[in-house]
Amino acid sequence: MSFGLFTNFALQIKTGLIAMMVDMSNFDPNGISVPNNNIFGLPFTLEEAELVIVPVPWEVTVSFRSGTARSPENMLKASLQVDLYDSEYKNSWKKGIHMLGIDKKLLLKNDYLRKENELYLNFIKTGEKVDNNKFMCKTLMDVNEGCKLMNEWVYEKTINLLNSGKKVGLLGGDHSVSLGFLKALAEKHDSFGILQIDAHCDLRKSYEGLDYSHGSIMYNVLSTIPSVSKLMQLGVRDYCESEWEYICNSKYKIVTYFEHELKERLYNGQNWNQITAEIVSQLPDKVYISYDIDGLDAKLCPHTGTPVPGGFDMEQLNFIFKKIMESGKTIIGFDLCETGVSSDGWDENVGSRILFKLSNLMISQGQ
């Protein structure tokens, strides 16, 4: 095919003039997954899928435990064990889900800068001043520049997919990977809110000197993306004083449901349906779901990057998502981050099931 014909063909796909048809005659949704197929064992190509999942193998700024950069490739394998029947969103998968391949260059860059950041973090723990050490100054600059380039990479990947009419989900890696995608969505939506599931606020400014830390992702979002009209945080149970002050001074642009407050309300007789109704009522019409897996009970994600005791059960959050859908609000995108890698595959098993639920939410809209 000549370049001109290829360009015209791509344009026709983009504008919807060609409907990509999938041959499902040899696919058995009740049978064993075929490893050569894509995510969840589905046979959809990039062109055929309505939803595209972008894996981002990145954890350069993780400050406690590593491993999440390898979670996308491990979750791809674990996803083959997920049954395709979802009683709430029947046959949504038939609209097509496809995960892009792991970018090996990005992963190699992550591995190098991860080691550089470990050197930097070990240095600052000694109490020495970075400004007095030229090597550490360069190391910090390299890490910040690398993280900036990663965000630009995510932006380019996601904006191109959005421009081609695809729905998009992001699979980390650590939580810092979301910024580029949110900037891409801001070009498509004048105003939207973020529903953040997380044990942490992630509202630190330049955490540990790192401009794009996983602990600063929501600070960076609110500082650089005016389209984000509200940040709703659920399950936070580990935060610092500056983050508390930032929330208090936000004029309710940030609404945080701290775990101890949610638990006290449940202990005092309120039920989850009442609390969920209150949460959903405060969300704008367009919602982005940012799902840090450490928002769950640590028994479900013991190898996440920064585990904290406490947390939600999966079904508590699925109930909130269901009520968001029933309210008529639109989910415009999602990220799932901080899934750990475990020797027995447990974390990836849980993560892949969350990913399937989030994917079904996205593609069931408009059915």
Domain ranges across the chain: 3-364
pLDDT tens figures, 89-99: 988 999 999 99
pLDDT at residue 58 tops 80:
yes
Report whether 306 contacts 62 (CB < 8 A): yes
The CATH class given to the 3-364 domain equals alpha beta
Lowest-confidence pick of 63-67, 214-218, 223-227:
63-67
* pLDDT range class, residue 21, cuts 50, 70, 90: low
What does the pLDDT read at residue 367? 46
Nearest-angstrom CA–CA distance, 345 and 342: 5
Q: What is the residue-averaged pLDDT of the chain?
A: 92
- Inform me whether the pLDDT recorded for 17 exceeds 70: no
Region 230-244: mean pLDDT is 97
pLDDT, one tens digit per residue, over 108-121 is 999 999 999 999 98
- What local confidence, expressed as pLDDT, does residue 28 receive? 82
In this prediction, residue 83 carries a pLDDT of: 94
pLDDT at 10 over 80: no
Rounded distance between C-alpha atoms, residue 174 and residue 162, angstroms = 22
Whether 319 shows a pLDDT value over 50: the answer reads: yes
pLDDT band at 76; cut points 50, 70, 90: very high
Select the more confidently predicted residue: 66 or 63: 66
How many of the other CB atoms lie within 10 Å of CB of 202? 27
